[in-house]
Amino acid sequence: MSAHPNDTHGTHGHTAEDGHDHGSYKSYIIGFVLSVILTAIPFYIVMSGGFENRSLTALVVIAFAVAQILVHMVYFLHMNGKSDEGWTMMSMIFTVIVVVIMLAGSLWVMYNLNANMMPQMNHDTLGFGS
Amino acid sequence: MSANVQTPAQGYWETEPHHHEEGASTSLGFWVYLMSDCLMFAVLFAVYGVLGQNFAAGPGPKALFDLTLIAINTGFLLVSSITFGFAMLAMVKGNQRTTLIWLSVTLPLGLAFLALEIYEFHHLIHLGAGPQRSGFLSAFFALVGTHGLHVAFGSIWLVTLMVQINRHGLIPANRRRMSCLSMFWHFLDVIWIGVFTFVYLLGMI
């Protein structure tokens, strides 16, 4: 009766002062230098006219953007699997999934809509409207 | 027998609510807010992706955008990110003066970004390429304008936080606010990577 199994509560560990990683000068500088490089290269590629193949240019530019977003996540936002017992990472993964479904879905549906509605469904050719 | 079943039940129900130190969940809550903000930006990106080719016989990206301007603007945001990072490091060390100095370096960079963006918008509207011109320009102004509004509110927040820190010092409440604004500021930089890549760079290819 007198035993309190809940006594262990409230002792779960907080390593840093507030349980968060704030990085160091070194990590900020590394992140900054990486971001500058990852920004400068795609800007240079596009401003100097890009490659012969336009889709290749687009792919390279997008690849640099993804790399830079990851750099920002790690070096500036200090993402890791540990902060707030992993819930930060979980909520981000959930958001990324929803964003990907929404972006890909919207673009896919609207692209097909445009492709299928033009131009043979034009009102003039079918004699609809004014 | 019944006593055997009932006695451990005392331990299963918690009679007292969990004790959490004040503000312990603030950063997670703010992170969830940022994720919802991220969804909002994703919708705006999707709108831009769908409407971005609908020029309505008006000007397209190549006729309107100036990449040099965007590169300078990107530089402002990038440098402001690292100066805010230095402010955070000074705060962790408990150095109020250095924190305020780095914050007051960050603020003009944010304002310079806003000034260039307002100049760009003004220039476009002056050319007759306002948001009402075409679907492409509506989506462009909605997406880039929303990001600019976020930077504007972030700058207002930065000013109020500097006043708070100046008045009350680096108390726990102000440290929490600093952490939240830090996440907000870096998050805006991440969104800007998407904007300059998908709107400006891909538009100019």
**A84-105 pLDDT, tens per residue?**
888 999 999 999 999 999 999 9
Contact B179 A39 (CB under 8 A): no
**How far apart are the CA of B17 and the nearest CA of chain A, in angstroms?**
11
B205/A23 touch (CB, cutoff 8 Å), yes or no: no
- B-chain CB neighbours of A33 within 8 Å are none
The model's confidence at residue A82, banded by pLDDT at 50, 70 and 90, is: confident
Decide: residue A52, CB within 10 A, 0-12 exposed, 13-18 middle, 19+ buried.
exposed
pLDDT band at A48 (very low <50, low <70, confident <90, very high): very high
Contact of A74 with chain B, judged by CB distance below 8 Å, is answered with no
pLDDT, greater one: A9 or B22: B22
**Which is more confident, A126 or B64?**
B64
ipTM score of complex: 0.86
- What is the distance in angstroms between the Cα of A30 and the nearest Cα belonging to chain B? 10
Round to whole Å and give the CA distance between B156 and A9: 40
> A35 touching B, CB under 8 A?
yes
Q: d(Cα B27, Cα A74) in Å, to the nearest integer?
A: 17
Phi/psi class of residue A129: alpha, beta or left (left: φ > 0; alpha: ψ in -120 to 50)?
A: left
Residue B68, C-beta contacts closer than 8 angstroms, at least 6 positions apart: A47
Q: How far is CA A39 from the centre of its chain?
A: 16
**pLDDT confidence of residue A84:** 80
Nearest to B197 among A24, A62, A99 (CB): A62
CB contact under 8 A, B85 and A76: yes
User: How many CA atoms, within 13 angstroms, populate the side-chain half-sphere of residue B131?
Assistant: 10
Quick check: B50 and A54 CB within 8 A? Answer: no
Q: Which residue of B has its CA nearest to A17?
A: B92
Is there a contact between A103 and B89 if contact means CB atoms under 8 Å apart?
A: no
How much is the pTM?
0.85
Of A77, A87, A102, the CB nearest to B186: A77
Q: What is the pLDDT along chain B (205 residues), one digit of tens a residue?
A: 444 555 555 556 666 666 777 788 898 999 999 999 999 999 999 999 999 999 999 999 999 999 999 999 999 999 999 999 999 999 999 999 999 999 999 999 999 999 999 999 999 999 999 999 999 999 999 999 999 999 999 999 999 999 999 999 999 999 999 999 999 999 999 999 999 999 999 999 8
